[in-house]
Amino acid sequence: MSLSFSRATSVADSFVPLSRQSTGPLRTRPTTTATSVASQDIVCAVSESRGISSTVGLAFVNLSTAETVLCQICDSQTYAKTITKISVFEPTEILFMNTARDSKLYCILHENIPDTTFTFLDRRCWSEKAGHEYVDRLAFPEDVESVKLALGGHFFAACCLAATLKYVELELNRIFATHSLRIRFEPSQGTMSIDLSTIVSLELVQNIRSTKSKHSLFGLLNETLTPMGSRLLRANILQPSTEQSKLLARYDAVEDLSTKEDMFVSVRQALKGFIDADKVLSSLILVPTKRTFQYVEQSVNNVIMLKTYVSSIKSIYKALGTAQSSLLLTIRELCAPAGHRGVEQLIESTLNDHVAYQTKPLDLRNQRIYCVRTGVNTLLDVARQTYKETNMDAVDLIAQLSKTHNLNLDLKFDTARQYYISISAAETDCYLPEIFINVYRKKKRIECQTLDLVKLNQKIVDAHNEVVSMSDQTIQELIRDVCTEISTLFRVSEAIAMLDMLSTFAQLATCNDYIRPELTDVLAIKSGRHPLREKIHTKKYVPNDAYATPQSRFQIITGCNMSGKSTYIRALALMTIMAQIGSFVPAEYASFPLITQLFARVSTADDLEANVSTFASEMREMAFILRSLELIHSASPTSNNNNKSMVLIDELGRGTSTTDGLSIALAIAEALLCTTHALTWFVTHFHDLATILSARPGAVSLHLAADLTADGSKMTMLYRIAEGVPPSQAYGLALANLVDFAPDVMSTARGVSAAMEGLARRRHSRARSIAVAHKRRLLLALREQLVLARCGTVSGESLRRWLVRLQEEFVVRMDAADGDDTDDMSLSDGDVVALATTDHIESSSDDDEDEVDGIPHPHPHPHSTSPSSRPPHAYTWSPSLEADHPMSGICSSDSPPAVVVSSIVYSVVVI
């Protein structure tokens, strides 16, 4: 199952999948890595409540890693959260009650989650009591009470657990050993929600154009050395954390690893060659209801791999000897020899010291034969001797054949044929004695057998099977004893996976010059870089700044084609995700708010499979985004939860007529700006959109700069973010001029463009209401800056200088606003005082002004709060000052910071 799923439609009675693209590779389950979810066997059970308000229970049982995840979601009628959650785990089979065949939930999941088997079970399998009984019997002893407490009140999650485990037991003929299953309840809070279209369009785990390409965020970050670490990294990318304490602990650990070279090298060396511990441990505890010889043989392999795993833990403990961060110390404590000494002693008393897991078939077979210590079973020792003598007979047979026929014969082995003979084709002269049978001719070699060798192979197989069968009792006793300590081994595996991911982050930070982000309530980035693009364009990539607060939450980005607009907003999203999985980010300085929801509408391709055009597809997606944000706002209308959502919109409304596209884009922009209050980056070629919204509180106009010669014959992309609307909008003409058009065609185009620009300027000439709104924005921005200064960490002389500069810049901006007004549009002092208390200007809501009182208080950093170093669009006003302005002279160079703050606040009120 791929990640090219669609958002659930917001139309209640429509079950058409809203897939983003019809790209072929994304329709199949990706298999680019052996550690991907696609290579795992996961069974999911789904049940829901009755009524309008849907509560959905989910249970995921991973048979490959012996892990069970339970959750219960309060979802909408579109089941968007349920679809996202299921698709993150990518189950191979989904279970429903047999009474849910015609339910809306089943229809939506069936349409939106392809390549998955749906199975219906009898209602009797869905029992809350049975779910709690399974927890009592299978959960780790130390986890039983906590899991049962988490399941209290979550009826549907408990029912799903019962159904899933009953299905595994009855239909798949597998049972888990007592107290050996990892069960955890995963609340819907605590992680960032990323819908499936966003996962695909931002290329979080898979490249859109090629599934084999590493040009995705997961491909970039996946420098892990263990399968467990790779799975953990993927899970974190799809569900970034929103718990500040957890992220700060990861930052400390990454910093500890990246600053201690010897410890970092030792850790990476210790992680190399680690086997997949989760799969080994799950193979030990997952027992088939009907025992076969293949299971007996695999059990021997499993205990050999277990020995290899346990013996590798010591190196992790030693490598973390100089660790200081709390998370690394916790990992080291879990890997301490005392924790798994009991398991180690059990293995040492049963298995030979030299036994280790091998990948070559013959070596692995020999390891199975000699894994149990000599003397444990007398008959076993006799069977081993028979196996050894038969193998020697095979070697002697080949030596005798070589001497008899004067040929250089090599004895080879594979699983299908057992022993066979390999001869160089050059030695046979196209003639092979008749004694050789089962001949396979290759380019340079001839492979064959003899009848005597076939008979010896059968004797060897019989001896091998006898040894394995005799070893089984001893091996099963060892497995039963190990299962009593299995919870400790699983926790060690989780600790190693976390260490692997953290060491990967440390390596990336060191090699790519990443910096540690801060978690504040303001998004402030200095010289941020797109983590993937900078790898491709190592010399030409231009870093950019970003700054977003409640008073600059809606940022309209314009600019010419290929100027880097899409790259800019994608970089913001990827850096945010990196920060919320515990990684350092590519920037000189970065602070992020904890984002709880991320939406991106950045694709413009038709969906042929769903018979949906570009415009229809983007309208559906925007309806889904607005509906999701409105649900959050309606659930807590008095809070700033929507400020914790991030929305990226690229080229909206370009698939229809200009008038319709602009109208719809403006309506959606108004809804995002005035209703949802989410942090939004809106990329558009509709310059009128930036002009219309420029006076709205919370809106900021930006553009990607480009140098255009006076005659329009040459244009140079600067790829640099700048404030305001581009001074020249004739970028399209400049690009068209590079093509071999006839001169009269370009002349006509320039004439039409000039005439239309003239009409637009007259239509958008400044009015009194626009001037009032502009000054109101300046006042709101000033107040926000003062709140940041009051609650920040900057103090003393630095704060005083910053406040003086802030006063000067505010005066200049207010003077500029006054200068733009005509005589009949000028504002009196009373108008400006009324401006601060106006409830409704230009259709803006009270929420814009009330929002200032609820501004979160970050800890300002010089890069994020200083006017000289903030991004150019973050109200970095010019420092010039007129001596006769009412505010000039209020703050002298000797004024203490407290006086400066009071003076500015007083001046705002007076003005």
- Please write the tens of the pLDDT for every residue from 202-247: 999 988 888 788 899 999 999 999 999 999 999 899 999 999 999 9
pLDDT attached to residue 896: 47
3-state secondary structure of 156: helix
CA dist., res. 316 & res. 494, Å (int) = 13
pLDDT attached to residue 764: 58
3-state secondary structure of 29: coil
Q: What angle do CA 261, 266, 268 make, to 5 degrees?
A: 95
Q: CATH 3.40.50.300 spans which residues of the chain? A: 518-763
Report residue 889's pLDDT band, with 50, 70 and 90 as the boundaries. Answer: very low
Is the confidence at residue 141, as pLDDT, over 70? yes
Q: CATH 1.10.1420.10 spans which residues of the chain? A: 224-372+482-512
DSSP letter string over 794-818?
Answer: --HHHHHHHHHHHHHHHHHHHHHHH
Contacts of 847 (CB under 8 A, 6+ apart): 674, 677
Asked if 808 and 881 count as a contact pair (C-beta separation under 8 A), the reply is yes
7 to 107, 623, 672, 884: CA distances (angstroms): 14, 10, 19, 58
Q: Residues 815-824: pLDDT tens digits?
A: 777 665 533 3
Higher pLDDT, 880 or 47: 47
Is the confidence at residue 785, as pLDDT, over 50? yes
Q: With the CA atoms of 582, 586, 587 and 591 taken in that order, what torsion angle do they form, in degrees rounded to the nearest 10?
A: -20
Tokens of 632: 């959050």
Specify the range with the lowest mean pLDDT, choosing from 22-31, 426-435, 896-905.
Answer: 22-31
Higher pLDDT, 149 or 543: 543
CB atoms within 10 A of CB 847: 17
pLDDT attached to residue 734: 74
Is the confidence at residue 893, as pLDDT, over 50? no
pLDDT attached to residue 495: 95
Is the confidence at residue 850, as pLDDT, over 60? no
3-state secondary structure of 622: helix
The mean pLDDT value for 25-44 works out to 54
Asked if 650 and 565 count as a contact pair (C-beta separation under 8 A), the reply is yes
CA dist., res. 123 & res. 134, Å (int) = 17
CB atoms within 10 A of CB 450: 18
Q: What angle do CA 49, 55, 56 make, to 5 degrees?
A: 90
Is the confidence at residue 765, as pLDDT, over 70? no
CATH topology for 518-763?
Answer: Rossmann fold (3.40.50)
CA dist., res. 359 & res. 276, Å (int) = 14
Asked if 795 and 897 count as a contact pair (C-beta separation under 8 A), the reply is yes
The sign of the dihedral angle between the CA atoms of 240, 243, 246, 247 is: positive
Tokens of 463: 């001896």
Give the helix/strand (H/E) hosting 645.
strand 645-650
Name residue, tokens 């599934």: 211
> CATH says 224-372+482-512 is which class?
mainly alpha
Is the confidence at residue 809, as pLDDT, over 80? yes
Q: What is the DSSP letter of 55?
A: E
State what percent of residues in the chain have pLDDT above 70: 80
Report residue 24's pLDDT band, with 50, 70 and 90 as the boundaries. Answer: very low
Average pLDDT, rounded, for the chain? 80
pLDDT attached to residue 652: 84
Report residue 883's pLDDT band, with 50, 70 and 90 as the boundaries. Answer: very low
Higher pLDDT, 30 or 168: 168
CATH 3.30.420.110 fits 40-190, yes or no: yes
The mean pLDDT value for 141-161 works out to 89
> What phi-psi label fits residue 845: left (phi over 0), alpha (psi between -120 and 50 degrees) or beta?
beta
The highest-confidence range among 72-81, 489-498, 718-727, by mean pLDDT, is 489-498
Higher pLDDT, 841 or 687: 687
The mean pLDDT value for 117-143 works out to 92
Q: CATH 3.30.420.110 spans which residues of the chain? A: 40-190
Q: Residues 656-689: pLDDT tens digits?
A: 788 888 899 999 999 898 887 899 999 998 888 8
Q: What is the pTM of this model?
A: 0.78
pLDDT attached to residue 321: 93
Asked if 284 and 343 count as a contact pair (C-beta separation under 8 A), the reply is no
Q: What is the DSSP letter of 678?
A: -
361 to 372, 384, 517, 717: CA distances (angstroms): 19, 18, 49, 59
DSSP letter string over 751-789?
Answer: HHHHHHHHHHHHHT---HHHHHHHHHHHHHHHHHHHHHH
CA dist., res. 334 & res. 317, Å (int) = 9
Q: Residues 644-653: pLDDT tens digits?
A: 899 999 888 7
Higher pLDDT, 827 or 577: 577
Half-sphere exposure of 376 (CA within 13 A, CB side): 22
At residue 600, φ and ψ (nearest 5 deg) are -140, 125
In 3D space, the residue among 131, 140, 7 whose CA is nearest the CA of residue 72 turns out to be: 131
Is the confidence at residue 638, as pLDDT, over 60? no
Report residue 631's pLDDT band, with 50, 70 and 90 as the boundaries. Answer: confident
